[in-house]
Amino acid sequence: MSDSRTDKNRREFLLQGTKFIVLTGVAASAWDYVLAGTPEAAPSYKASQHWWAMMIDIEKCIGCGGCVRACKAENNVPLEPYYFRTWVERYHVRGEDLAHPDVDTPNGGYDGFPEIYHADDGAKSFFVPKMCNHCEHSPCVQVCPVGATFEAPDGVVLVDSAYCLGCRYCVQACPYGCRYIDPRTNTVDKCSLCYHRITKGLTTACCETCPTGARQLGDLRNPKDPIHAFIREHKVQVLKPQMATGSKAYYNGLDGSVR
């Protein structure tokens, strides 16, 4: 009996000990995240050493909307259903009719997607996350009358909201509908590729949250970055290639019906 009690005590000890070690690890990494998330200067960041891009794998997107929620929370985006830095669209394509897909984006995908299609309806359905394409030849940068929208040396298209006139010309010029006027500031807003995070070695809020890895930040100037393999190993495409904007959001599995 005494042996079994000892066994029990030993088992208890091991269990508690493992819990302690595992939880400390979690706590430690959580603490790391807290530290990393604290805004601080990025003195070691050299913009010229990076050329940021986005990998979006449509085949991995499950339409959970986590990216939309994370983005709105991280970047203080208004919650109304027509202001988005990123959003998710659901495509439903019947047969060969690529020109007339049924597309919806309830609240930009913020709350996920209610099931409205049957799996056996003979059509294909998929989700397309959308965001600023951080174009190399941005139409929005071109038209801004005062240069409040500009391309940083690391390829990120940014907005200086202290300089923006609110003329809305850039909103008209963006072929992808990525810009909106923030009603609180009357200036334009759009995805900044979480510039406050990526310049500190973190990834974007949307990539951070994505449970399937459908969105990943890539650095085209880093030869070891997985983006090179992603582009090499997949049939990648950008949105509206006929616009020749030099989009840096590379999609895998982009269907011809997507616009």
Partner 1 sequence: MEETLLAHVQGFMYPNEMELQWSVLIVLYPFITGLVAGAFILASLERVFKVEAVTPTYRLALLTALAFLLVAPLPLQLHLGHPERSIQMYLTPHTQSAMAMFGFVYLWYLMAVLVLEIWLDYRKDIVLAARSSTGLKQKLYKAMSLGIDNISPESLRIDDKVGRFLTIIGIPSAFLLHGYVGFIFGSIKANPWWSTPLMPIVFLFSAIVSGIALVMLMYMVVSWFTRREISMECVDTIGRYLMYAFIIDFTLEMLDLIHRMYEADESFKSLDFMVQTKLFTSQILVQIIFGTLVPIGLLALPQLLKLSEQARKGIYLLAGSLTLIGIFAMRWNVVIGGQLFSKSFLGYTTYKMGFATREGLLPAIILLVLPFAILWVLVKLLPPWQDDTAKA
Q: Does 9 bind partner 1 (CB under 8 A)?
A: no
The token duo for 25 is 């690890």
Of 112, 136, 187, 255, the one binding partner 1 by CB under 8 A:
187
Q: Does 134 bind partner 1 (CB under 8 A)?
A: no
Query: For residues 50 and 90, which CB has a smaller minimum distance to partner 1 in the complex?
Result: 90
How far, in Å, are 10, 33, 135, 159 from residue 166 at the CA level? 69, 36, 21, 11
Count of residues that interact with partner 1, criterion CB under 8 A: 45
Query: For residues 81 and 213, which CB has a smaller minimum distance to partner 1 in the complex?
Result: 81
Of 54, 71, 159, 178, the one binding partner 1 by CB under 8 A:
178
Of 42, 136, 169, 234, the one binding partner 1 by CB under 8 A:
169
How far, in Å, are 73, 94, 235, 239 from residue 59 at the CA level? 26, 18, 12, 16
Segment interacting with partner 1, rule: CB under 8 A, options 25-33, 55-63, 174-182, 225-233: 174-182
Query: For residues 39 and 147, which CB has a smaller minimum distance to partner 1 in the complex?
Result: 147
Of 56, 70, 174, 227, the one binding partner 1 by CB under 8 A:
174
What minimum distance in Å lies between the beta carbon of 8 and partner 1? 59
Of 50, 179, 197, 215, the one binding partner 1 by CB under 8 A:
179
Binding residues (CB under 8 A) for partner 1: these are 80-84, 87, 89, 100-105, 108, 130, 139, 142-147, 163-169, 171-181, 185-187, 243, 259
